[in-house]
Amino acid sequence: MPDFKVAIIGAGPSAFYAAAALIKPADASIKVDLFDRLPAPYGLVRYGVAPDHPKIKSVANLYEKTALDPRVRFFGCAEYGKHFDLAALRAHYDMVVFATGAQSDRNLGIPGEDLKGSMSATEFVAWYNGHPDYRDLNPNLDIEGVVVVGVGNVAMDVARILAKSYDELKVTDIADHALEALKHSKVKHIHVLGRRGPAQAKFTNPEIKEFGHLEVADPVVKAAELELDPDSAKLCETDRLTRQNVDFLREYAARGHGSKARKVHFRFLVSPTEIHGKDGWVSSVKIERNRLVSVNGDQKCEGIGEFEELPAGMVLRSVGYYGVALPGVPYDKRKGIIPNAGGRVTEGDAPVPGLYVVGWAKRGPTGVIGTNKKDAEETVALMLEDMKSAAPKAKGDIAQLLEQKGCGYVSFDEWQKINAKEVEKGQAQNRPRVKFINIEEMRA
């Protein structure tokens, strides 16, 4: 197969799985350039995965192997729409893969959401993981109550980080500013709200299990909220993972309140209806009890007109990420994805030649890091098929364009120097790394 050049926009997990699959065929000599607007590669592995889950982060070692292949280059601090556009990519590459993830989040659409202290869990995650854009978020932790809306794994992450002790956090790679703020946290009650029942919770078994072993926090569950309707009971019988989730919650309910200083209250069949404030800050959250109703075989929830007020100084909405539109690229606003057929970008029903998509930008914000491998391989299989009937175009090197634009990109070599320095700083403190937060500091 002749030399094709591929640009991948984004350098998170799905980008690296796509790059690995593109350089895999023995008969292909495909060259791959990865672009990220930040100096650091690995996307959500660095800025999304919880700092106390280091095993998940070790997947970066695999991505590093891909990046070190001579056919692969990394351009950090090189941003689509700022330093280059689609026309420039088309001029320099045969194919372009969008691996831009889901950079925004969903709103609740209830009154009070814009009060101070109300934010998305994704912002809070980015803050404690040292994402340069969120270093000034400065959440007020001089409060006792936090409401986390949603029962997916992101909700579990933020609830757990808020529930953990300084000793538990100080051995992780959590951002220094977050470690310092959490050290002085006054948070006592973390209310995690599921709008449907325990059998419909999206969290996975290891995530709910962890709450049974925290140093300074007890999980608290109301047995009455674990009662299952016939459809949910059937689901528990047939689905082992659902049953295990419910079993963990039943075990927590049986424990009672416990004696630890902090409590994580897992609530089910409740929805926030209004966030109340005082002096511009969140002061409480009004919630309504729900019941489950079956709609075309799906278990949905509806309010039953019974309300409760939870005192809280912070609300973290954790109801899913949402993809944003990229200039010049087709976009499905309802789903927040780039419309595609198996990874070939489509407009109307027709494929757009040369454009592909992987990861959350392709399928929406679902699945764990590893899910992106199969997803990227599906897209790359189509790319390899399309290459069979195409000829590579004559092209220059994008590095020249980036230099003309004053981009001052960060190469993978340079990233490795930043990485080595972070790890070195970490060793001195018995931590995996101490992250640089400031882009200029990283460059320096």
Give the residue with the Cβ less far from ligand NAP, 31 or 202.
Answer: 202
Give the residue with the Cβ less far from ligand NAP, 96 or 148.
Answer: 148
Nearest to 77 by CA among 359, 407, 366: 407
Q: By CB under 6 A, is residue 207 in contact with ligand NAP?
A: yes
Query: Is residue 77 within 8 Å of residue 37, measured between CB atoms?
Result: yes
Task: From 181-189, 194-202, 276-284, 389-397, give the range in contact with ligand NAP by CB under 6 A.
Answer: 194-202
Q: By CB under 6 A, is residue 43 in contact with ligand NAP?
A: no
Q: What are phi and psi of 48, to 5 degrees?
A: -120, -50
Q: Tell me the pairing of strands 262-268 and 189-194.
A: parallel
Say which residues have a Cβ less than 8 Å from residue 172's Cβ, sequence separation at least 6. 51, 52, 54, 431, 432
Q: 119-143 burial by CB neighbour count: b if 16+ within 10 A, else e?
A: bbbbbbbbbbbbbbebbebebebeb
Site for ligand NAP in 74-133 (CB under 6 A): 108
Q: Which of 196, 262, 265, 435 binds ligand NAP (CB under 6 A)?
A: 196
Nearest to 313 by CA among 167, 189, 178: 189
Site size toward ligand NAP, by CB under 6 A: 24
- The CB-of-1 to ligand NAP minimum distance in angstroms stands at 35
- The CB-of-301 to ligand NAP minimum distance in angstroms stands at 7
Query: Is residue 176 within 8 Å of residue 217, measured between CB atoms?
Result: no
- The CB-of-339 to ligand NAP minimum distance in angstroms stands at 20
Task: From 133-141, 199-207, 379-387, 408-416, give the range in contact with ligand NAP by CB under 6 A.
Answer: 199-207
Task: From 21-29, 317-325, 348-356, 405-413, give the range in contact with ligand NAP by CB under 6 A.
Answer: 317-325
Give the residue with the Cβ less far from ligand NAP, 256 or 367.
Answer: 367
Query: Is residue 281 within 8 Å of residue 242, measured between CB atoms?
Result: no
Q: By CB under 6 A, is residue 318 in contact with ligand NAP?
A: yes
Nearest to 15 by CA among 37, 42, 38: 42
Give CA–CA dist 409/286, Å, rounded.
48
Task: From 85-93, 195-203, 308-316, 435-443, give the range in contact with ligand NAP by CB under 6 A.
Answer: 195-203
Look up residue 275 and give its amino acid: I
Which residue has the closest beta carbon to ligand NAP?
152
Q: Which of 25, 81, 258, 367 binds ligand NAP (CB under 6 A)?
A: 367
Q: By CB under 6 A, is residue 150 in contact with ligand NAP?
A: yes
Q: By CB under 6 A, is residue 192 in contact with ligand NAP?
A: no
Query: Is residue 426 within 8 Å of residue 434, measured between CB atoms?
Result: yes
Give CA–CA dist 63/48, Å, rounded.
16
Give the residue with the Cβ less far from ligand NAP, 39 or 150.
Answer: 150
Q: By CB under 6 A, is residue 368 in contact with ligand NAP?
A: yes
Q: Which of 131, 160, 195, 433 binds ligand NAP (CB under 6 A)?
A: 195
Give the residues lining the site for ligand NAP (CB under 6 A).
Answer: 108, 149-155, 157, 194-196, 200, 202, 207, 271, 318-321, 365-368
